[in-house]
Chains A and B, each alone.
Chain A
Amino acid sequence: MKSMITLTINGQRTALEVPPSRTLLELLKGDLHLTGAKLGCGIGECGTCTVIMNGRPVNACLVLAVEADGSDIRTIEGESDGEHMSDLQQAFIDFGAIQCGFCTPGMIMSARALLMRNRNPTRDEIVEAIAGNLCRCTGYKPIIEAIEAVARARNEGGYKTSEDAHAPYVGGAAKRIDGVEKVTGSATFVHDMVLPGMLHARIKISPCASARIVHIDTGKAAAMPGVKAVLAGKDLPYKVGLYLQDKNILARDHVRYQGEMVAAVAAETEEQARAACDAISIQYDVLDPVLDVEEAFASQSRLVHEELGKYSWLKGVFFPKPGTNIAHHQKIRKGDVNDGFARASLITQYEFNNPPVQHAPMETHTAIAQAKPGGMVEITTSAQSPFTVRNLFCHTFGTPHSKVRVRVPYVGGGFGGKAGIHLEPLVYCLSKAAGGRPVKLTCRREEEFNTLPSRQGLHSVVRTGVTKDGKITALDVRYLWDAGAYADYGVNIGRAAAYSGAGPYTIPNCSIDSYVVYTNKVFGTAYRGFGHLEVLWAIERNMDLVAKRLGMDPYDFRMNNLLRTGDTTITGEPFTENHGRPDKCLEIVAKEIGWERRWKQPATRNASGRKLRGVGLAMLHKAPAMPTFTSCSVVIKFNEDASVNVLVSGVDYGQGTYTAFAQIAADELKIPMEKVHIPWDCDTDYTPYDWQTVASRLTVMGGNAIIEAARECLNQIKQMASHALRISPDYLVCENSRVHVKGQPSKGLDYKQLALGYTYPDGNSIGGPVIGHGRCIAHGLTHLHPETGQGLPALDWTYGAHAAEIEVDAETGFIEVLRIVSAFDAGKVINTQQCRSQVIGGVVQGLGSALSEKFIFDKNGCFLNATFKDYKIPTAKDIPQEMRPIFVETPYPAGPHGARGIAEHPMISVPSVIGNAFADATGIEMFEFPLDPETVYMALNYSGSTASVAGNKYVTLETPHCGRQGEP
């Protein structure tokens, strides 16, 4: 049964026939091709689908089209004509209120609805208006500022954009080059894409954490209407994995976590695929799951992977231990810890924990694949790294690389969760089974939580030896990573976080054992900071605890031990003046938060004694974790009018790298930034190789490659000009889109005259189209020694520090973050606005980890909080009153203009600084995050001196004790 409805959409009346179950969002995106509104959850919990209905914002996913009959609907497409931006659109661009752009259309609609009803909204009203719109990237602050600017300007003749025409590109505040596409809703994400003949896929997931698959019956599903392909594990004899091939495309014989994909269907419609999935019957023999990481670490009988010894892995870099649950053991040995402890006057030992969490990008994983005739494969995917998808795909299926094309358009956030390869192999197999029709699989939000990978949990034990005057003599750490069911990036996190695993300090004697341990939980992968947020929770909490045991100011204790020129890191890397200034970062944030005054005075309470205030400090550091041979390349092509296209394969999934690239290219080529175009689609068929977009390495490596490519272009230009002008190229300079003789600006040629080659007045031509390429490879890195971990693993280190002031409501346990000040040694800030946005967004994401986010499993290992309702990422109402990013610029000589990576760093150590401030406010030491209200309340009310509070525990050993715990 269908009903006739009439809607007025963006001023146009439209009559449509719709089935009763169709939502307004499906109608807009599917039937009317208005793809600006986004599907982030489908159940009213994210606001990405917001449209204005009869003057009020609504979630289009929660309105049935038939209910909307007769309504007036306004979508992002009605916000402007696409050429002249509306005030809100322009302000979003101007204020850096956009990163990945997936939340942007909904956010602008909510803001518009507010401004339609309220001429003069207060800041609180603005925050309230967007509190139903989640954004994982920006930290909301720039969004609030943009809306506020528009509201204020209304009484002064309307919002006007401003541009500092004289600001240099590099070091200026250039606006995002993808701003217009994103604020108009025209940026096309894989989520929005439909191909001719495309089928829709759905997956069936495991209901239990550990089980033997006894029987799968797909017969009934295969016969259902619209179904074109049904697959189960037995049909797919392939192993996948990044460093350790331990995973099947669909579970075969065993399921190892609740949520694991067991079967999949491709059908004409999504409903048909879903119905068919429901009709697949699976018989499980349920096993007792291994859930506790310490138990898993110790066990040799209850194994998540019985076959570990038979898998293949990257030898010499990773060290799995067959017969155990250990997927990798990374050792770091420097000096002699026994000796170091013997020289200590105080030895402490503390244990720390943190749970697995999720990236929660607003766009869930999605991929379209087609198995074409002749063995060609086309994949369009929401991934961070097209070449890695291609490479791993080819490894799995033995396909020649040249036959596989991977395309990545706009990506709605990733944060590491879309690195590597995830849905692509399955979708390809479905397409093949369906006779080569393209197939699309978009994860539902629950699946994003439950099936796709997470950030690993970590259990740390930290023993520290210190002298009376506060010098660390020895550090002995054991990290147990709760990797979940598969290794994925987990093993490399265990490796990378180990070589950073002592914090930015000089440790003369250091021993670190980092074990990546399988358990029957959803598996872990890279997440912004790659293990560093977790490790630095332990290390930076430990620094405070040890300082207090010494009776020392934690600031002084850190200053005493920070890495300085002439020191060596724990892997033996000399720390030079080019490494940056961790001490300066600490000094700055301490000063900004008023540390000296605050630390000496006891924690303050408000008049009623219910609110406790405290301050904290925490350091951070991180280097890109990548293979020693990591490389990338860039091509710059001149167009007829001397504009350029810059071809890259590193993905800008919101972090703003392309804008930095455009700045660097314009600066180097001496052309206006508007003349630099960076095509958004990365395409392995057309754009040049880049390893991966991870680890905050893209601006550094890609930036270098751009400079090299630009210089090659200029060389070609000068070569041609030298003939035409009859002068050696050495006497030529480039400026303002022109090449001319030094000191004689009038004697020269416009780039335009040379872009395709130079033609003399008589028609003779020389040269040819200008095209330059640039490359960059990590130089001089080495593998780590298998026994000692000594070596040079890291391209560049970025150091930083946070200081925070918080207020704890002692009655409820609610923590409010009042201020957070963050300093980073960025080497060189390429774009001031975007660095600020990165920091604010990262800090707020870190606060999610610190205060509310965690996976909750029941005793059988089933995942309980797979929705935005129960997995609480920060909303616009959860941001600190004040966030202040500060940048130190100690140039990194091998970086473009001296720049270092900075994308991940803002998030790292945010839980640590909150934990430290909490101890200052309340006198209670927490050993596990998140510090959610209940945990805090319980700690405040039920903790003794060595209490165990909601899983938090600590031990303190007074006597030197060098035996290691639980060494297998």
Chain B
Amino acid sequence: MFFQPHTIEEALALKREHGAAASFIAGGTDLIVMMNRGRCPAKNYIDLSHIPGLDEIKRARNDNPPADRMPPGAAEIYTAGCCATFSRLAELPVTCLAGAALSVGGPQIRNRGTIAGNIVSASPAGDGSTALLSLDAALELRNANGPRLLSLRDFFLDYRKTALADDEMIVSIRFPAAWKSAWQKLGKRGAMNISMVCCSCAVSESGRFYAAFGSAGPSPMKARRTEEFLTGAAVRTGDGGMTLSGKAIDEAARIAQEEVQPIDDFRGGADYRRAMAGVLLKRALRQIIA
């Protein structure tokens, strides 16, 4: 069955009714590929493209009540609707996310592919997910009973496994609007690449460092130890920015290389991916402190 609800409430009612047997579809860039291969992931589809407003991106002060203030370290945030496309994200002044969005497929894919689709697929190579992890993004999830907020850093559980319940949808994603960040991705050619490895870094207003890697583990991964090291090693500069010594950058790369858990497959060897995780992190950090 193919459902075309016009409101979120209708969509969630359908999802409650069909549970795992129904799949939301928005851009379709993942699902239609599966259908084309004769591997239909679900019996039913709930098309989100006719619900108005789901592709909007808004910027606002992060002045929700403390329990709701996510990501906690951001003074100003963007809230992107689940159906916001990569093309839209690529236009935002958030360096890592815009870079990640621009590195997805070609323009045609970016015009259809949505951020929530990228997140729920939980692909280990998810460029958007990796960038959002380094922004400490938060998800607004909702089922027919109401919403809940969840940090993206608690969303990915294992290979293609997430914390999303069968009756839930991702309604929107919140991420900081003004953190300094950087994006690095390595593919085998100039465009239309899936990441061999990608790396995203950001630093919060309070000087906390975040680092995440794609294609370096079973799901997009945050590099906790690397982040802690960087946060400790960084020094505040006269103009209020953060800086890192060359030695600290090298050490961070070494820690990241220990921390990542890439696999060996036909797309790339684990040794290479591990080495590149370090190289990309260094490049990203140099960009951030530049």
Q: Are B192 and A131 in contact (CB under 8 A)?
A: yes
In whole Å, how far is A848's beta carbon from the nearest beta carbon of chain B? 9
Query: What CA separation (Å) do A865 and B266 show in the bound complex?
Result: 8
Which of B27-35, B140-148, B226-234 lies at the interface with chain A? B27-35
Within 8 A of A (CB), among B24-55: 25, 27-29, 32-33, 35-38, 45, 47, 49-50
Closest chain B residue, CB of each to CB of A811? B279
- Size of the B side of the interface (Cβ < 8 Å), in residues, is 42
Tell me, yes or no, whether A688 is within 8 Å of chain B by CB.
no
In whole Å, how far is A876's beta carbon from the nearest beta carbon of chain B? 7
In whole Å, how far is B278's beta carbon from the nearest beta carbon of chain A? 9
**Do A934 and B268 form a contact, CB below 8 Å, given A64-B32, A66-B4?**
yes
Q: Are A852 and B189 in contact (CB under 8 A)?
A: yes
In whole Å, how far is A483's beta carbon from the nearest beta carbon of chain B? 23
Of the candidates B2, B25, B192, B269, the one whose C-beta lies within 8 Å of that of A45 is: B192
Query: What CA separation (Å) do A812 and B109 show in the bound complex?
Result: 27
Which of A52-60, A246-254, A644-652 lies at the interface with chain B? A52-60
Q: Are A56 and B29 in contact (CB under 8 A)?
A: no
Q: Are A876 and B105 in contact (CB under 8 A)?
A: no
Within 8 A of B (CB), among A772-824: 811-814
Q: Are A864 and B189 in contact (CB under 8 A)?
A: no
Q: Report B's interface with A, CB cutoff 8 A.
A: 1-2, 4, 25, 27-29, 32-33, 35-38, 45, 47, 49-50, 87, 105-109, 111-112, 186, 188-192, 194, 196, 266-269, 271-272, 275-276, 279
Q: Are A57 and B107 in contact (CB under 8 A)?
A: yes
Q: Are A937 and B192 in contact (CB under 8 A)?
A: no
Q: Are A63 and B189 in contact (CB under 8 A)?
A: no
Q: Are B191 and A132 in contact (CB under 8 A)?
A: yes
Q: List 19 A-B contacts (CB under 8 A).
A: A23-B32, A42-B36, A43-B36, A53-B111, A57-B107, A64-B47, A67-B25, A128-B107, A132-B109, A813-B272, A852-B189, A864-B266, A872-B189, A874-B190, A875-B190, A877-B189, A878-B190, A932-B188, A937-B272
Q: Are A67 and B189 in contact (CB under 8 A)?
A: no
Contacts of B27 in A (CB 8 A): 62
Contacts of A1 in B (CB 8 A): 1-2
Q: Are B108 and A47 in contact (CB under 8 A)?
A: yes
Q: Are B107 and A934 in contact (CB under 8 A)?
A: no
Q: Report A's interface with B, CB cutoff 8 A.
A: 1, 3, 20-21, 23, 42-45, 47, 50, 53, 56-59, 61-64, 66-67, 69, 110, 113, 128-129, 131-134, 274, 278, 811-814, 851-852, 856, 858, 864-865, 868-870, 872, 874-878, 932-934, 937-938, 941
Of the candidates B32, B37, B106, the one whose C-beta lies within 8 Å of that of A131 is: B106
Q: Are B111 and A62 in contact (CB under 8 A)?
A: no
Closest chain B residue, CB of each to CB of A20? B2
Contacts of B105 in A (CB 8 A): 44, 132
Q: Are B107 and A868 in contact (CB under 8 A)?
A: no
Closest chain B residue, CB of each to CB of A878? B190
Contacts of A877 in B (CB 8 A): 189-191
Of the candidates A3, A43, A133, A858, the one whose C-beta lies within 8 Å of that of B106 is: A133
**Do A131 and B190 form a contact, CB below 8 Å, given A44-B105, A62-B33, A934-B272?**
yes
Of the candidates B37, B109, B190, B267, the one whose C-beta lies within 8 Å of that of A59 is: B109
Closest chain B residue, CB of each to CB of A42? B36
Q: Are A934 and B196 in contact (CB under 8 A)?
A: yes
Query: What CA separation (Å) do A428 and B35 show in the bound complex?
Result: 29
Contacts of B188 in A (CB 8 A): 852, 872, 932-933
In whole Å, how far is B180's beta carbon from the nearest beta carbon of chain A? 22
Closest chain B residue, CB of each to CB of A274? B38
Of the candidates B32, B38, B108, B189, the one whose C-beta lies within 8 Å of that of A874 is: B189
Query: What CA separation (Å) do A378 and B188 show in the bound complex?
Result: 44
In whole Å, how far is B31's beta carbon from the nearest beta carbon of chain A? 9
In whole Å, how far is A201's beta carbon from the nearest beta carbon of chain B? 16
Contacts of A937 in B (CB 8 A): 272, 275-276
Closest chain B residue, CB of each to CB of A53? B111
Contacts of A814 in B (CB 8 A): 186
Query: What CA separation (Å) do A583 and B266 show in the bound complex?
Result: 42
User: How many A-B contacts if CB must be within 8 Å?
Assistant: 134
Closest chain A residue, CB of each to CB of B40? A21
Closest chain B residue, CB of each to CB of A50? B108
Q: Are B189 and A856 in contact (CB under 8 A)?
A: no
Of the candidates A58, A66, A869, the one whose C-beta lies within 8 Å of that of B192 is: A869
Query: What CA separation (Å) do A132 and B86 show in the bound complex?
Result: 14
Q: Are A3 and B4 in contact (CB under 8 A)?
A: yes
**Do A132 and B266 form a contact, CB below 8 Å, given A872-B188, A937-B272?**
no
Query: What CA separation (Å) do A876 and B275 show in the bound complex?
Result: 28
Query: What CA separation (Å) do A876 and B107 show in the bound complex?
Result: 13
Q: Are A21 and B33 in contact (CB under 8 A)?
A: no
Closest chain B residue, CB of each to CB of A875? B191
Q: Are B49 and A110 in contact (CB under 8 A)?
A: no
Query: What CA separation (Å) do A812 and B107 show in the bound complex?
Result: 26
Q: Are A63 and B112 in contact (CB under 8 A)?
A: yes
Q: Are A878 and B108 in contact (CB under 8 A)?
A: no
Closest chain A residue, CB of each to CB of B102? A128
Query: What CA separation (Å) do A492 and B256 show in the bound complex?
Result: 52
Of the candidates A58, A61, A278, A875, the one whose C-beta lies within 8 Å of that of B111 is: A58
Contacts of B25 in A (CB 8 A): 64, 67
Query: What CA separation (Å) do A67 and B50 show in the bound complex?
Result: 8
Q: Are B275 and A132 in contact (CB under 8 A)?
A: no
Q: Are A875 and B192 in contact (CB under 8 A)?
A: yes
In whole Å, how far is B4's beta carbon from the nearest beta carbon of chain A? 7
Q: Are A278 and B33 in contact (CB under 8 A)?
A: no
Q: Are B107 and A129 in contact (CB under 8 A)?
A: yes
Contacts of A23 in B (CB 8 A): 32
Contacts of A58 in B (CB 8 A): 108, 111-112
Q: Are B28 and A110 in contact (CB under 8 A)?
A: no
Contacts of A20 in B (CB 8 A): 2, 45
Contacts of B36 in A (CB 8 A): 42-43, 61
In whole Å, how far is A897's beta carbon from the nearest beta carbon of chain B? 39
Contacts of A856 in B (CB 8 A): 266
Closest chain A residue, CB of each to CB of B27? A62
Contacts of B38 in A (CB 8 A): 274, 278
Query: What CA separation (Å) do A878 and B32 show in the bound complex?
Result: 28
**Residue of B1, B189, B271 with most partner-chain A CB within 10 A:** B189
Contacts of B87 in A (CB 8 A): 56
Of the candidates B1, B28, B106, B269, the one whose C-beta lies within 8 Å of that of A64 is: B28
In whole Å, how far is B215's beta carbon from the nearest beta carbon of chain A? 13
Q: Are B108 and A933 in contact (CB under 8 A)?
A: no
Contacts of B37 in A (CB 8 A): 43
Q: Are B2 and A59 in contact (CB under 8 A)?
A: no
Closest chain B residue, CB of each to CB of A932? B188
Q: Are B108 and A132 in contact (CB under 8 A)?
A: yes
6 smallest A-B Cβ distances: which pairs?
A132-B106, A877-B190, A20-B2, A131-B191, A875-B191, A877-B191
In whole Å, how far is A726's beta carbon from the nearest beta carbon of chain B? 69
Contacts of B268 in A (CB 8 A): 934
In whole Å, how far is A941's beta carbon from the nearest beta carbon of chain B? 8
Closest chain B residue, CB of each to CB of A45? B192
Known: A814-B186, A875-B189, A877-B191. 20 other contacts (CB 8 A): A44-B29, A45-B192, A62-B27, A62-B112, A64-B47, A66-B4, A110-B108, A131-B107, A134-B192, A812-B186, A852-B189, A856-B266, A865-B266, A872-B189, A874-B189, A874-B190, A875-B192, A932-B188, A933-B186, A934-B272
Query: What CA separation (Å) do A45 and B104 show in the bound complex?
Result: 12
Contacts of A47 in B (CB 8 A): 106, 108
**Residue of B4, B49, B190 with most partner-chain A CB within 10 A:** B190
Query: What CA separation (Å) do A869 and B37 show in the bound complex?
Result: 14
Closest chain A residue, CB of each to CB of B48? A67
**Do A62 and B32 form a contact, CB below 8 Å, given A877-B190, A934-B196?**
yes
In whole Å, how far is B38's beta carbon from the nearest beta carbon of chain A? 6
Closest chain B residue, CB of each to CB of A21? B35
Query: What CA separation (Å) do A878 and B190 show in the bound complex?
Result: 5
Of the candidates A56, A62, A67, A133, the one whose C-beta lies within 8 Å of that of B49 is: A67
Query: What CA separation (Å) do A1 and B44 show in the bound complex?
Result: 12
Contacts of A876 in B (CB 8 A): 190-191
Query: What CA separation (Å) do A58 and B85 show in the bound complex?
Result: 12
